[in-house]
Amino acid sequence: MPEYHILENSWGHFCLAIKQQQLCRLYIPGEILPEECSDVVSPLLLAAVRQLEEYLLGRRWEFDLPLAPQGTVFQQQVWAELLRIPYGETRSYQVLAEKIGKAKACRAVGMACHRNPLPIFIPCHRVIAKNGALQGFRGGLEMKERLLQLEKQ
């Protein structure tokens, strides 16, 4: 059973979940928080909260946490590639599809980004359309734009 911690800040309500000493889920503002959210505070949850807050304040550019996102083999490939996108940079869905050797799988890459259980930690917000337009983000396009702006500062 996962342990949860709710974080409230100027961005909204977040809920972090760990299972077997690995971060497995981040609920972002706009998402329905799990009903079983308790305020358990383990050292890993404290570290995850601290790192997330530092990131949202523009003081952290990468995370140092054990991540355990659950998904298909394809999703895992996409998420691994997302982790290679440097802070402050973006990639298109097309480029990501090409990087994982599936050049025609742009839409599937988009769905894998949408199903990313650890947004921000696995930076799916850094993925944009080939023409540079912002598309899809579980937290909404306003939050996606805000995250990208934060990383440009």
Question: Which residues form the catalytic set?
Answer: 124
Instruction: Report how far residue 59's alpha carbon sits from residue 68's, in angstroms, rounded to the nearest whole number.
Output: 24
Give whole-number Cα distances, 65 to 12, 52, 74, 130, 153, in Å.
22, 11, 22, 31, 24
DSSP 8-state class, residue 91: E
Residues in the chain: 153
Return the CA Rg of the chain. 15
List the one residue out of 58, 82, 23, 24 whose CA is nearest residue 147.
58
